[in-house]
Amino acid sequence: MDKAFFVDLYRYNYWAQRKVWDCVLALDEAQFKQELDYSIGSIHSHCVHVMAVETWWFEFLHHGTYDFLDQYDDQESAFPTRELLRIRWDTSEKAVFAYLDTLTKDELARMVRPDFWQEELPSISVREALLQVANHSTDHRAQMLAGLHQLGGATVAQDYLDFAWAKRKK
């Protein structure tokens, strides 16, 4: 796994997120904020959470700092509209690719450990962190798709092969 692998992985990640986001945009405001009985609640909460986790991990990997954007007591106040959430997500996406552009073999092997982790948890490599973040986003997209279905909304496939085939058609 090298820089090209991770750039492709995150191109896929954001391709899939935008497909799911199109489904999210089709919801009315009540559906978007309706509490669901699985995982972390509403589609709104899922969107904030995925964006926030991606943001904090990449801030941590690139700069050694982080801000838990999804830990606000009232997410509706922090990201009250889909437009503001999308603006923040787009900003985060640009930062992700700026960081990925700096990847080297040494950077991928660098060991990291957020200071809030429990003491017994070991450090992980940047490579492992990058895989974790992408996997985490896929997991929550799947949960969002189930929630969208539960709300009567449209859903989409998020398979990597669909992404690969779409790239070949260009």
User: Using one digit for the tens of pLDDT, what is the confidence trace for 119-142?
Assistant: 999 999 999 999 999 999 999 999
DSSP character string of 125-146: EHHHHHHHHHHHHHHHHHHHHH
* CA 61 to chain CA centroid, nearest Å: 15
Tell me which residue range forms the domain holding 36. Answer: 3-169
Q: In sequence order, which ranges of the chain are alpha helices (DSSP H)?
A: 3-25, 29-33, 43-63, 75-78, 82-100, 105-109, 126-150, 160-169
pTM, to two decimals: 0.92
Residue 98 structure tokens: 């700026």
Asked whether the predicted pLDDT for residue 70 surpasses 80, the reply is: no
CATH assignment at residue 156 = 1.20.120.450
User: Using one digit for the tens of pLDDT, what is the confidence trace for 104-117?
Assistant: 999 999 999 998 88
Average pLDDT, the chain: 92
pLDDT for the residue numbered 74: 58
Asked whether the predicted pLDDT for residue 68 surpasses 90, the reply is: no
153 vs 54: CA distance, rounded Å: 25
Q: What's the rounded mean pLDDT across residues 146-167?
A: 95
Distance of CA 39 to CAs 7, 42, 75, 144, Å? 28, 9, 16, 9
Q: How many domains does the chain have?
A: 1
Residue 40 pLDDT class (50, 70, 90 cuts): confident
DSSP character string of 62-75: HHS----GGG-S-H
pLDDT for the residue numbered 12: 98
